[in-house]
């Protein structure tokens, strides 16, 4: 399955914030959307899933497995979310329901999309918690989000996104709120799960150092436009755009190991 965006534009209250961008995510590819705040990368991710704000309008084309997503009824988009396309947001504290145990939240997706009963879904939640390396998974699924650390909450969010084994994962700045050590652990976990399940990945970040650890190709955005794209190895060694050159200068030395992107 592949994702193909062509001439995608997004306007909010008449102001164009994403301007005629195109990119491909072939089956099994790991593609980064990178740019500074306001570059349009997160809005692009929301457009893929039909989750744009009410004031936003998307035009152009986003095709998933040759199926047009722009204009698709929300009921049909809801069937794709979590089943064929998963998403991990930047801040799990706001993505998780504070009054439900994390086990119930992990189980919800498989109950909706796979029709599992309560007992089987609960067992699946424990298995998914173990898969994302949460400690003592049988106990941790009984806890509430506020009882977990930031890194543990992000692992729960990853478990929720991947519980139904989607073919595409969108990760929107999933490590930004974490300290450097936990950030590296979550990146390693994500990279391993994506490779193991053979998923495609769209990884959104403002940090080229982070992207170098998980993606093989990148699309560089500035003010809603594509300014450069190509293999990440080339962008790391011979960036053509001043924007990419600036991102390279700002790359976090503690995370970026040259040659980390294959």
pLDDT single digits (tens) 84-106: 999 998 877 777 999 999 999 99
User: Rounded to the nearest 5°, which phi and psi values hold at 61?
Assistant: -140, 135
The predicted model gives 130-155 an average pLDDT of 94
User: Rounded to the nearest 5°, which phi and psi values hold at 116?
Assistant: -70, 145
Q: Residue 262 pLDDT > 50, yes or no?
A: no
pLDDT of amino acid 178: 82
Higher-confidence position of 104 and 262: 104
Q: Residue 204 pLDDT > 50, yes or no?
A: yes
- Rg of the Cα trace of the chain? 18
Six-digit token string for 95: 């993505």
- In angstroms, rounded to a whole number, what is the distance separating the alpha carbons of residues 205 and 200? 16
Which residue reads 């991102």 in tokens? 247
pLDDT of amino acid 181: 85
Which residue reads 């199926």 in tokens? 67
pLDDT of amino acid 199: 94
Six-digit token string for 46: 């929301």
**Whole-model pTM over 0.95:** no
**Three-state secondary-structure class, residue 197:** helix
pLDDT of amino acid 18: 97
Confidence of residue 34 (pLDDT cuts 50, 70, 90): very high
pLDDT of amino acid 253: 45
Q: Residue 238 pLDDT > 90, yes or no?
A: yes
pLDDT of amino acid 1: 64
pLDDT of amino acid 109: 87
Give all strands (DSSP E) within the chain, no chain letters.
Answer: 3-12, 15-25, 30-34, 56-64, 67-68, 85-88, 168-172, 200-205, 217-222, 225-231
Confidence of residue 144 (pLDDT cuts 50, 70, 90): very high
pLDDT of amino acid 95: 79
- In angstroms, rounded to a whole number, what is the distance separating the alpha carbons of residues 176 and 103? 24
H helices of 118-179, in order, are 118-131, 137-140, 150-162
Question: What is the pLDDT of the chain when averaged over all its residues?
Answer: 91
Nearest Cα residue to 233 out of 211, 252, 261: 261
Pairing of strands 30-34, 217-222: parallel
**Start-end ranges of CATH 3.40.50.300 in the chain?**
1-84+168-262
Q: What are the pLDDT digits (tens) for 50-95? A: 999 999 999 999 999 999 999 999 999 988 988 899 999 887 777 7
Q: Residue 254 pLDDT > 80, yes or no?
A: no
Q: What are the pLDDT digits (tens) for 107-121? A: 998 898 888 899 999
Q: What are the pLDDT digits (tens) for 160-195? A: 999 999 999 999 998 887 888 888 898 999 999 999
Write b or e for each residue in 132-171: b if 16 or more Cβ atoms lie within 10 A of its Cβ, otherwise e.
bbbeebeebbebebeebeebbbbbbbbbbbbbbebbbbbb
Architecture of the CATH domain 1-84+168-262: 3-Layer(aba) Sandwich (3.40)
């Amino acid at each position: 399955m592949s994702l193909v965006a062509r001439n995608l534009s997004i306007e909010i209250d008449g102001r164009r914030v994403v301007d005629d961008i195109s990119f491909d995510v072939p089956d099994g590819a790991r593609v980064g959307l990178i740019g500074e705040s306001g570059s349009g990368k997160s809005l692009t991710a929301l457009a893929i899933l039909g989750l744009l704000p009410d004031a936003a309008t998307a035009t152009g084309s986003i095709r998933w497995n040759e199926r047009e997503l722009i204009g698709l009824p929300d009921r049909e988009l809801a069937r794709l979310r979590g089943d064929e396309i998963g998403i991990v947001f930047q801040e799990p504290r706001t993505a998780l329901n504070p009054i439900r145990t994390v086990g119930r939240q992990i189980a919800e997706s498989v109950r909706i999309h796979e029709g599992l009963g309560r007992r089987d879904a609960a067992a699946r939640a424990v298995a998914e918690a173990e898969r994302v390396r949460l400690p003592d998974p049988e106990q941790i699924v009984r806890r509430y989000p506020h009882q977990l650390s930031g890194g543990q909450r992000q692992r729960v969010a990853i478990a929720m996104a991947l519980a139904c084994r989607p073919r595409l994962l969108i990760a929107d700045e999933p490590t930004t709120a974490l300290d450097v050590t936990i950030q590296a652990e979550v990146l390693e976990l994500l990279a391993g799960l994506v490779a193991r399940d053979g998923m495609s990945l769209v990884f959104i970040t403002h940090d080229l150092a982070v992207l170098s650890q998980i993606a093989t190709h990148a699309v560089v955005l500035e003010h809603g436009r594509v300014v450069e794209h190509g293999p990440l190895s080339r962008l790391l060694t011979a960036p053509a755009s001043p924007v990419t050159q600036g991102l390279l200068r700002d790359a976090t030395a503690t995370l970026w190991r040259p040659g980390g992107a294959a």
